[in-house]
């Protein structure tokens, strides 16, 4: 790998290179999340979430409309999901934690899609049985994020297909192969399952409306790479008599190593929720930082939090207190904080977080079934 | 319409023109049904079915292998189906009557697929709810053909999708868009549901094996226009660890009017099982025949049963007695039988048949649920 910036690639299947989020807003034709909208969310939630303050969620489509529907006294809904092809890591939890915040703020039902069919169709060596196993494993992580029982409807595309196939068919009838090819880059070498699948990911935007026999405005909190799916959905929504889904787009949690997002396919870059907490702590200690090569140089020149993954973890997830975060930034730049100290503190926080999360995850096993669609 | 022979078109979606069945065997690369094979079927059934004697079923793939599996003491299965987009007519019953013969002869389970998803995706103006309604209406006709309870598993692609989606996905992963385009003539203007659907029609060949967790040789009795689906299935079968399905191909029942098969989209050409028996009798009287323009000419020159639709109905369905059939042929050609007499007799037979069939169809309502897959 050269030191040149790698070209940015952001699609539902690949996220790589140096991510320029302003450029994504421009490329994808979305809107920047304004302070005014953030304050509206904060008003309904009772507080401004750190992921809003820090621009982890940074872009949207029609969020203002979705909030105004709620403010007019209408029921509103949420939809997000997961491609279950492996264990869940902190990068996956990021938007789910924010989704829980939205669920509480707007008293919203959440439809959570496990796209085990897509993952099976996409990955040469993944069996369907394995993908389905990950559905149930990953659902424990969703529940452990504190999603509200009775208002959260997790479903597996394969195991719960009877709830979604008909609506998927109606959506699929409105999407031509040409459109799917243009949006997702499908080619004629792709399999006929994969080219069908976008209908199911689009369908979920209308699932609550379909089940409740009334139009419920849907908001999708998700990482921005999934945006192409909703572009298609927005095109077909009105033809089917539904509202276009609103969206709120999140950034990717950086990996522990240099470059790219946290990625399950490179385990050394990722902290999994199922990692042994001590092993996870060691991964943190081995992470890439923005510090100098030696303690001596660090004390002389200071480090650069702007390119530091350890700092990113404080920023994204582990230090919600703004003052303390600023202190880390200041002390790093001045050279009074060494990478060793900074990593040690984060690794303890990660360990504590995992021990707690794993307890919740274990407890979720008792009520797993209660969270699935009926 | 000119008097020239119209070009033969035989695809899963269109059957038109003058059908040359020998040519189809050549074009499709299937095998002619030999006397030896017919006799084998007759041996197990206890009698030679008129549809075999008269070459209504005329072509096959691997039927010899399927019979030999049965003779070796192995369980064998049957699969056929229906695209439920309207009422059932006699042309649809033809292969089902033969399927019942095979079911009895080989003590076989029958998987009967109602492709309501395909019909919805294909037909601009058909709603999914209408297609599903036809599924249950048409199932009454299937049951009225005498299919064996406890050994017949009717299923709707949409209503019973939970039984079939996973297997469909596994099949779909092995079929590229290129293949589907080449076999079915799909283009990029087709919708992404329609291009997915062949996976479900192919899947049914393996459904019994999948459910019973052992490889059960499958035979598909169906009109020959459906052959392209099974070509794809045969290609993927071994990759998935299943036997290739065997097939036995039927001819199309001619319509009542000149040219083409009995077609639901041209009601005057078709006798529906739900027709008022008196109306049906009148349709017969209005049918195209091979007779002369006047009774006088008929008596002088005789008629031509070879191009007569009335004769075809005796031949295909209503006159099982070979001697009586020959008598009709002889008396027509000699001019001693007029079209009026011949039609009057057939219209009485059709009326009697319908009255009886409609009773069975009515009775089927009580046990409809018993015939659906669980």
Residue B372 belongs to a domain: no
Task: Write the burial class of residue A215 (CB in 10 Å: 0-12 exposed, 13-18 middle, 19+ buried).
Answer: middle
Q: How many residues does chain A have?
A: 374
pLDDT bucket at A2, cuts 50 / 70 / 90: very low
How far is the C-alpha of A81 from the C-alpha of A100, rounded, in Å? 13
pLDDT at residue A266 in the model: 78
- What mean pLDDT is reported for chain B? 93
Q: What is the pLDDT of residues B97-112, one digit of tens each?
A: 999 999 999 999 999 9
Average the pLDDT over B253-280 and give the result.
84
- Chain B residue with minimal CA distance to A160? B162
DSSP notation for A141-208: HHHHTTPPTTSEEEEETTTTGGGTHHHHHHHHTT-BHHHHHHHH---TTSBTTTTTTHHHHHHGGGHH
Distance separating alpha carbons of residues B89 and B91, to the nearest angstrom = 5
Q: Name the band, by pLDDT with cuts 50, 70 and 90, for residue B256.
A: confident
Residues of B whose CB is below 8 A from A169: 117, 120-121, 128, 158, 193
Q: Which residue of A has its CA nearest to B125?
A: A173
Count residue pairs from A and B with Cβ separation < 8 A.
108
pLDDT at residue A198 above 60? yes
Other Cβ atoms within 10 Å of B367 Cβ, number: 11
The 10s digit of each residue's pLDDT in A259-311 is: 667 777 777 788 999 999 999 999 999 888 888 888 898 889 999 998 898 99
3-state SS track over chain B: CCCCCCCCEECCCCEECCCCHHHHHHHHCCEECCHHHHHHHHHHHCCCCHHHHCCCEEEEECHHHHHHHHHCCCCCEEEEEECCCCCCEHHHHHHHHHHHHHHHHHCCEEEEEECHHHHHHHCCCCCHHHHHHHHHHHHHHHHHCCCCCCCEEEEECCCCHHHCHHHHHHHHCCCEHHHHHHHHCCCCCCECCCCCCHHHHHHHHHHHHHHHCCCCCEEEEEEHHHHHHHHHHHHHHHHHCCCCCEEEEECCCECCCCCCECCCCCHHHCCECCCCHHHHHHHHHCCCCCCCCCHHHHHHHCCCHHHCHHHHHHHHHHCCCHHHHHHHHHHHHHCCCCHHHHHHHHHHHHHHHHHHHHHHHHHHHHHHHHHECC
Question: Are residue B42 and residue B178 in the same domain, yes or no?
Answer: yes
Q: Residue B13 CA to chain centroid, in angstroms?
A: 14
pLDDT beyond 90 at B315? yes
Which CATH number belongs to the domain containing residue A326 in this structure?
1.10.240.10
Tell me the DSSP string of A2-19: -SSPPPPEESSS-EES--
| A210 and A128 within one domain | yes
CA A296, A299, A300, A301 dihedral sign is positive
Query: How far apart are alpha carbons A140 and A362 in whole angstroms?
Result: 8
Together in a domain, B285 and B345: yes
**Averaged pLDDT for residues B191-219:** 97
Asked if the structure places residue A302 within a domain, the reply is: yes
CB contact under 8 A, A158 and B177: no
User: Closest Cα to residue B230, out of B74, B369, B62, B51?
Assistant: B62
> Do B203 and B83 belong to one domain?
yes
Instruction: Confirm whether A258 is domain-assigned.
Output: no
Cβ count within 10 A of residue B13: 11
With CA atoms as reference, the chain A residue closest to B123 would be: A173
Token duo for residue A342? 């900074």
**Chain B hits for A173, Cβ within 8 Å:** 120-121, 191, 193
The Cα–Cα gap between A27 and B242 comes to 47
Say if strands B9-10 and A109-114 run parallel, antiparallel, or are unpaired.
unpaired
Mean pLDDT of chain A, nearest integer = 93
- Per-residue confidence band for B5, with pLDDT thresholds at 50, 70 and 90: low
Domain's final residue, options A252, A280, A301: A252
| B154 plus B23 within the same structural domain | yes
Does residue A47 sit in the same domain as residue A193?
A: yes
* pLDDT over 60 (residue A314): yes
Q: Based on the fold, state whether residues A68 and A96 are members of the same structural domain.
A: yes
The CA distances from residue B196 to A30, A167, B122, B179, B203, in Å, are 31, 15, 12, 12, 12
Q: What is the pLDDT of residue B115?
A: 98
Question: Is residue B4 over pLDDT 50?
Answer: no
> What is the per-residue pLDDT across A160-194, written as a single tens digit (0 to 9) for each?
999 999 999 999 999 999 999 998 899 999 999 99
Q: What is the DSSP string of A56-68?
A: SEEEEESHHHHHH
Q: Which residue has the higher pLDDT, A9 or B320?
A: B320
User: Which residues in chain A touch residue B158, judged by CB atoms under 8 angstroms apart?
Assistant: 165-166, 169
Q: Is the pLDDT of residue A325 over 70?
A: yes
Same domain, A331 and A200: no
More confident residue, A286 or A11: A286
Side by side, the strands of the sheet bearing A218-223 are A31-32, A57-61, A246-250, A218-223, A77-82, A109-114, A152-156
Based on the fold, state whether residues A237 and A287 are members of the same structural domain.
Answer: no
> What's the mean pLDDT in B24-28?
88
- Are the beta carbons of B188 and A177 separated by less than 8 Å? yes
- Count of residues in chain B: 374
In chain B, % of residues over pLDDT 70 = 97
Last residue within a domain, chosen from B195, B229, B252: B252
The per-residue pLDDT for A253 is: 86
Q: Is the pLDDT score of A5 beyond 60?
A: no
DSSP string, A329-367: HHHHHHT-S-HHHHHHHHHHHHHHHHHHHHHHHHHHHHH
Confirm whether B39 is domain-assigned.
yes
The distance of B247 to chain A (nearest Cα, Å) reads: 24
Q: What is the pLDDT of residue B6?
A: 65
Cα within 13 Å of Cα(B329), Cβ side = 13
Q: Tell whether A236 and A277 lie within a shared domain.
A: no
CATH number of the structural domain spanning residue A50: 3.40.50.620
Domain presence at residue A341: yes
Which residues, including other chains, have CB under 8 Å from residue A212's CB and lie 6 or more apart? none
Residues 6+ apart with CB under 8 A from A239: A174
Q: How many other C-beta atoms lie within 10 A of the C-beta of residue B62?
A: 20
- To test the contact with chain A by mutation, choose from B169, B189, B239 the residue with the greatest count of A C-beta atoms within 10 A, namely B169
Q: Of B361, B364, B307, which is closest to residue B339 (Cα–Cα)?
A: B307
Q: What pLDDT score was predicted for residue A365?
A: 98
Closest CB to A198: pick one of B161, B175, B192: B192
B117, B173, B188: residue with CB nearest A181: B188
| Chain B residues in contact with A191 (beta carbon < 8 A) | 172-177
In tens, the pLDDT along A97-123 reads: 999 999 999 999 999 999 999 999 999
Q: At what angle do helices B35-45 and B90-106 cross, to 10 degrees?
A: 70
Give this complex's ipTM: 0.92
Whether residue A116 sits in one domain with residue A30:
yes
Q: What is the mean pLDDT of residues A198-222?
A: 97
Give one DSSP letter per residue of A67-84, joined into a string.
HHHHHTT---EEEEEE--
How many separate domains does chain A show? 2
User: In terms of residue numbers, what domain contains A271?
Assistant: 267-362
The CB density around residue A11, as the number of other CB atoms within 10 Å, is 14
Q: What is the pLDDT, as a whole number, of residue A6?
A: 66
Return the pLDDT at B284: 92
**Inside any domain, residue A372:** no
Q: What is the pLDDT of residues B328-364, one digit of tens each?
A: 999 999 999 999 999 999 999 999 999 999 999 999 9
Q: List, in order, residues 6 or more apart from B72 with CB less than 8 Å away.
A: none
3-state secondary structure of A111: strand
At residue A372, the 3 state secondary structure works out as strand
| Alpha-carbon radius of gyration of chain B | 21
pLDDT the model gives residue B13: 67
* Residue A9 within any structural domain of the chain: no
Shared domain check, B109 and B40? yes
Query: How many helices (H) does chain A have, and how many strands (E)?
Result: 17, 9
**pLDDT for residue A3 is more than 50:** no
In a domain, B262, yes or no: no
Tell me if B244 sits within 8 A of B234, measured CB to CB. Answer: yes
């Amino acid at each position: 790998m050269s030191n040149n910036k790698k070209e940015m690639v952001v699609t539902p299947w690949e996220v790589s290179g140096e991510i320029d989020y302003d450029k994504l807003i421009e490329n994808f034709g979305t809107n920047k999340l304004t302070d005014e909208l953030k304050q509206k969310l904060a008003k309904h939630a009772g507080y401004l979430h750190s992921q809003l303050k820090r621009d982890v969620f940074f872009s949207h489509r029609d969020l203002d409309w979705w909030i105004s529907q709620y403010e007019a006294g209408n029921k509103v809904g949420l939809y997000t999901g997961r491609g279950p092809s492996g264990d869940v890591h902190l990068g996956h939890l990021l938007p789910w934690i924010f989704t829980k915040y939205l669920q509480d703020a707007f008293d919203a039902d959440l439809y959570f899609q496990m796209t085990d069919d897509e993952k099976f169709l996409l990955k040469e060596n993944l069996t369907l049985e394995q993908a389905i196993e990950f559905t149930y494993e990953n659902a424990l992580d969703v529940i452990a994020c504190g999603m509200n029982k009775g208002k959260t409807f997790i479903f597996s595309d394969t195991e719960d297909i009877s709830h979604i196939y008909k609506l998927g068919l109606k959506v699929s009838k409105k999407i031509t192969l040409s459109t799917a090819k243009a949006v997702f880059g499908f080619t004629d070498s792709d399999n006929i399952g994969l080219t069908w699948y976008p209908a199911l990911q689009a369908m979920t935007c209308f699932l609550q409306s379909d089940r409740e026999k009334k139009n419920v405005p849907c908001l999708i909190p998700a990482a921005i790479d999934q945006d192409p799916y909703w572009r298609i959905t927005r095109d077909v929504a009105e033809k089917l008599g539904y509202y276009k889904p609103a969206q709120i787009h999140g950034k990717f949690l950086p990996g522990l190593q240099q470059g790219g997002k946290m990625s399950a396919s490179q385990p050394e870059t990722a902290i999994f929720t199922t990692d042994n907490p001590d092993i996870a702590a060691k991964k943190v200690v081995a992470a890439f930082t923005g510090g100098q090569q030696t303690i001596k140089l660090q004390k002389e020149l200071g480090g650069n939090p702007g390119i530091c993954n350890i700092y990113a973890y404080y920023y994204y997830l582990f230090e919600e207190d703004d003052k303390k975060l600023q202190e880390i930034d200041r002390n790093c730049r001045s050279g009074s904080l060494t990478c060793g100290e900074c990593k040690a503190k984060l690794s303890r926080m990660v360990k504590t977080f995992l021990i707690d999360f794993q307890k919740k995850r274990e407890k979720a096993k008792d009520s797993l079934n209660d969270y699935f669609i009926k």
